[in-house]
Amino acid sequence: MPKTRFAFVGTGGRAISFIEPLVTRYREHNALVALCDLSPTRMAYYNRKLAGAWNYGAVPAYPADQFDALLRETKPDIVFVCSKDSTHHDYIIRALHAGCDVITEKPLTIDAAKCRAILEAQRASGRRVRVAFNYRWGPFRTKVKELLATGVIGRVHAVNLEYLLDTNHGADYFRRWHAHAAESGTLLVHKSTHHFDLVNWWLDAIPAQVFAYGDLAFYGRQNAEARGDGHLAAYPRYTGEPRAKDDPFRLDLDESESFRGLYRDAEADSGYLRDRNVFRDDIDIYDQMSLNVRYRTGEVLTYALTAYSPREGMRVSFNGDRGRIEYQEFIGTHMNRAVSPGDFKIEDKPGAEAEGESIRVFPHFKPSYLVPLPPATGAHGGADDILTHSFFSPDAPATDPWGRFAGHEQGAASILVGIAARDSIRDNRPVTLSDLVPLAPAATKLSQLI
């Protein structure tokens, strides 16, 4: 059987999570045929790993402006998009028109016009698009899906989801491109796409309308100065800055081999600084967001995201007409995969305590009980390994009993909540999602979307 040919666009921190397993555990059935990125230095970092630790051999590295040549010359079957969020649509669309299937990191894209263009390119090409929603594949979250789908609390009418990003992981979004709405779509798209997708999938429902509030309450120069932390805003970046020695928000790129190779050594290529001061002036995203979502089938979600919390995790409660489920996960702080254990002494930072996960069912008129949890180890609570297996293994089933594969329409259903929330905050009004992108108007369940 010929190997499936993969090309990767975007060779930053995240791509390691997929490239490493592809060229090691899954190399018998798959081939990595090319890399593409704005930064030759980052691609060279990957090629050193490919030739060295992963014992695979270097592959052709195409600068971003030669992506069409990559498609022509290396003929990938699947283009895997791991670049900055605002660039996803461009690579997805060009790959589809070249006859490739696509797997893209979340978010599918960052605004309604780009989303419509992706859906149009998919229709025209007939090729397959998958969104790498790893959260769905976490064993605990799949267990929640199983409980809801089997009717343990009857029909669910309302969901509350509070997500906390801590002053380590949450702050990291304010150091780099995520801090600009034009590049990340704000955390309402970049981060919350995970959470909106989870709720869409848990409820098997399609979001219809959103009302939202958002503020920049903690990060940014003005906020630091107003609460007497102006000294933390005194320098533009952290690496090599003696005044940042005791700064709790400090990230020194020289302290980590992977950060030095991927980011510090690559600064001259594209001007991308990975460690900018989180209390600088040019941040235009929110660090606290709250919103309500009404679904096509009537359910309501109350959602809050805080990006400056002392702890990291989420609490979700489902109110059904036969009872209630409370799910929580406090798995400790984490940053992206390029950070090796021990780097930056993240584990030592206060507030990083892991409380773990629990699911408790409260049936009406009966005692509550804890649900035994499946084992989970590995990155993102075990989700990354299971997701990777589904992408790369020939043994992975084509269909999934819990409907965990997400295509372009399900990817759109999730980002549209965040995109609508942005409009709602700007205009102080409820926003109807079908006014942004008319997504399968007759469908009532998420599982009816591709």
Ligand X SMILES: NC(=O)c1ccc[n+]([C@@H]2O[C@H](COP(=O)([O-])OP(=O)(O)OC[C@H]3O[C@@H](n4cnc5c(N)ncnc54)[C@H](O)[C@@H]3O)[C@@H](O)[C@H]2O)c1
Positions in the binding site for ligand X (CB under 6 A): 9-14, 37-39, 42, 64, 82-85, 87, 105-106, 132, 134, 190, 270, 272, 336, 380
CB of 321 to ligand X, least distance (A): 33
Considering the complex, what minimum distance in angstroms separates the CB of residue 430 from ligand X?
27
Torsion of CA 175, 274, 17, 99, to 10 degrees: 100
Nearer Cβ to ligand X (261/320) = 261
- The minimum distance between CB 186 and ligand X, in angstroms, equals 12
Which CB sits closer to ligand X, 233 or 273? 273
Q: Shortest approach of ligand X to residue 256 CB, angstroms?
A: 13
Scan for tokens 């018998």, then name that residue: 28
Which CB sits closer to ligand X, 158 or 339? Answer: 339
Residue 426 CB, nearest distance to ligand X (Å)? 23
Q: Report the residue number, 136 or 250, with the smaller CB distance to ligand X.
A: 136
> How far apart are CB 270 and ligand X at their closest, in Å?
6
Strand segments, DSSP code E, in 239-368 are 288-295, 300-309, 313-320, 323-330, 356-363
Nearer to ligand X, 15 or 208 (CB): 15
Token readout for 172 is: 């990291």
Amino acid at 134: N
**Are residues 115 and 416 in contact, defined by beta-carbon separation less than 8 angstroms?**
yes
Shortest Å distance, C-beta 90 to ligand X: 7
Q: Which CB sits closer to ligand X, 61 or 144?
A: 61
Would you say 188 or 232 has its CB closer to ligand X?
188
Q: Which is nearer to ligand X, 48 or 155 (CB)?
A: 48
84 touches 178 (CB < 8 A): no
Q: How far is the CB of 69 from ligand X (least distance, A)?
A: 14
Q: How many CB atoms lie within 10 A of CB 323?
A: 17
Token pair recorded at residue 256: 């980590």
Question: Could you give the C-alpha distances from 206 to 48, 116, 181, 320, in angstroms and in order?
Answer: 44, 17, 25, 18
Query: Letter for the amino acid at 76?
Result: P
- Nearest one of 345, 376, 310, 420 to 138, comparing CA atoms: 376
Q: Which structure tokens are listed for 327?
A: 């799910």
- Measured at CB, which residue is nearest to ligand X? 12
CA 281 to chain CA mean position, Å? 25
Q: Which residue, 299 or 385, is less far from ligand X as judged by CB? A: 385
- In three-state form (DSSP H/G/I as H, E/B as E, the rest C), the secondary structure along 1-62 is CCCEEEEEECCCCCCHHHHHHHHCCCCCCEEEEEEEECCHHHHHHHHHHHHCCCCCCCCCEE
CB of 435 to ligand X, least distance (A): 26
**Which of these, 199, 88, 181, 106, lies nearest to 145 by C-alpha position?**
199
